[in-house]
Amino acid sequence: MQVSVFHTPELVPEGRPACAVAIDVLRATSTIATALANGAAAVHVFADLKTLDAAANHYPQDQVLRGGERDGKQVEGFDFGNSPFFCTRERVADRHIFMSTTNGTRTLQRISHAPVVLTAALINVAYVAEFIRAQAFETVWLVGSGWQGSFSLEDTACAGALVEQLGGAANDEAVAAAALFDSWQDDLVELFEKASHGQRLLKLGLLDDIVYCATANSVRSLPCQREPGVLVQGLTG
């Protein structure tokens, strides 16, 4: 297995891996994993808000939840921003979640052409690794979302956790990501607090979100793309 890491969607090369994984630990892929673990029917992701609204309007409105943030703040008129704490079973079970976030949804768009697309966060990283290992994909791309085109510590740490579990580091970024995870795996909250997006969330009073997103393997979830932009739970039972 050849595992490559790309820090942002902009750095993803042309071509098609057997499996591509979108990572946006703070907070889009943590929220997606939580929503699907708590029984959401699907998470539909959109880069822009107008397209999101048009698609959401086709569904019976009692089945729909709209989630979205810009610069970490909830989009006006939406049911929630992008906090995983919103996604309790009571709120999300059997609902379709329409979601748009600053960076995470752009990453998903960039890799949506791959035959298998997953999302990963630290909270579900072991489930994602287990699936990838079982499928023995020849090429795997792990794509961080970063922040508006730049590298992020938290996405790289999660990519590193996957590289550690999968082996097969195929570029320098993969080796560096594994080293970052190795150094910080026991202090992930501290690492996330140092991260620029962690700092942004701290200013918004969202320390609890950071702690939740830094808790490895706490959520049983394997978000898989069913069709471009639509994620469903890949685990049964």
Contact between 153 and 25 (Cβ < 8 Å): no
73 vs 133 by CB, closer to ligand 3SL = 73
Collect all residues with Cβ–Cβ distance below 8 Å to 180 and sequence separation of at least 6: 153, 156, 157, 160
Residue owning tokens 């071509």: 15
* 196-220: burial string, b at 16+ Cβ within 10 Å, e else: ebbeebeeeebeebbebbbebebbe
Minimum Å distance from CB 198 to ligand 3SL?
9
Contact between 84 and 213 (Cβ < 8 Å): yes
49 vs 175 by CB, closer to ligand 3SL = 49
Q: Is the peptide bond before 27 cis (omega within 30 degrees of 0)?
A: yes
Please give the residue whose beta carbon sits closest to ligand 3SL in the complex. 101
Minimum Å distance from CB 120 to ligand 3SL?
13
Minimum Å distance from CB 101 to ligand 3SL?
3
46 vs 131 by CB, closer to ligand 3SL = 46
28 vs 36 by CB, closer to ligand 3SL = 28
By CB under 6 A, name the binding residues for ligand 3SL: 24, 26-28, 69, 72, 82, 101-104, 145, 201
